[in-house]
Amino acid sequence: MIIAIDGPAASGKGTVAKRIAAHYGLPHLDTGALYRAVARDTVARGDDLADPAAAAAAAGRLDVDTLGDPALRTAGVGEAASIVARHGEVRAVLLEYQRRFAKNPAGAVIDGRDIGTVICPDADVKLFVTASPEERARRRYLELRESGIRIGEGEVLADIRNRDARDRTREASPLRQAEDAVLLDTTNLDIDAAFRAAIDLIEAAMGQAGQAG
């Protein structure tokens, strides 16, 4: 069972994806961490994030054991990630790893921006998780504050709008809802309610697929 979860920044998709993976006993891949790590490594070498060849080389050298690095979670790295994520060359390198992950015999839960559209177009279930920009900024602000990062909520909102615009308008695999994805708006849902809503949508989608097959 492949469950593809896409959506804009801080929509709750990562948390929902993690809970869904635990619920079904499936491995989870946060593909945003791949782009964040490529940005981190590009900057660490003193290379230019806007240089496709340098960023693609960093993608080629990526050590996936470093994806849990807490330094990846900052707003600055998120911003840098969306710059390297524009390069088709970077996406091509990371595509291979993501497709291999999806080949896990039991299945996988994969979240990102282009999972339902490009990485796993044949996923069994596709969710597009969203929320209003203000609510997403509020959540990300609380999350960052919790981890000791000092940043204003207005700055977080500006960052989110900026990143969404870049992710939606880029040429290579832009952020968009796949035609066969179901929309989950979490603006008025807390994490438990969002998780339950996601499970209901998944069960409904699986039930329909069962009937059709």
- Judged by CB under 6 A, the stretch of 53-61, 62-70, 78-86, 192-200 that binds ligand CDP is 78-86
Q: Which is nearer to ligand CDP, 69 or 206 (CB)?
A: 69
Instruction: List the beta bridge partners of residue 30.
Output: 111
Q: Which is nearer to ligand CDP, 14 or 133 (CB)?
A: 14
Task: Look up residue 209 and give its two tokens.
Answer: 């697929």
Task: Look up residue 103 and give its two tokens.
Answer: 């080949």
- Neighbouring CB atoms inside 10 A of 172's CB total 15
- Judged by CB under 6 A, the stretch of 20-28, 51-59, 100-108, 112-120 that binds ligand CDP is 112-120
**46: exposed, middle or buried (Cβ count in 10 Å: 0-12, 13-18, 19+):** exposed
Q: Which is nearer to ligand CDP, 26 or 160 (CB)?
A: 160
Instruction: List the beta bridge partners of residue 2.
Output: 108
Work out which of 112, 133, 139, 156 binds ligand CDP, going by CB under 6 A.
Answer: 112
Residues 6+ positions from 126 with CB-CB distance below 8 Å:
3, 4, 5, 6, 115, 116, 178, 180, 181, 182
In degrees to the nearest 10, what's the CA dihedral of 51, 53, 58, 61? 180
Work out which of 55, 59, 85, 181 binds ligand CDP, going by CB under 6 A.
Answer: 85
Q: Which is nearer to ligand CDP, 10 or 198 (CB)?
A: 10
Asked if 10 interacts with ligand CDP (CB under 6 A), we say yes
Spatial separation of the C-alpha atoms in residues 75 and 77, rounded to whole Å: 6
Minimum distance from residue 32 beta carbon to ligand CDP (Å): 2
Minimum distance from residue 167 beta carbon to ligand CDP (Å): 5
Task: Look up residue 126 and give its two tokens.
Answer: 């596709």
Q: Which is nearer to ligand CDP, 27 or 207 (CB)?
A: 27
Q: Which of residues 131-170 bind ligand CDP (CB under 6 A)?
A: 163, 167
Contacts with ligand CDP by CB under 6 A lie at 9-10, 14, 31-32, 35-36, 78, 81-82, 85, 112-114, 163, 167
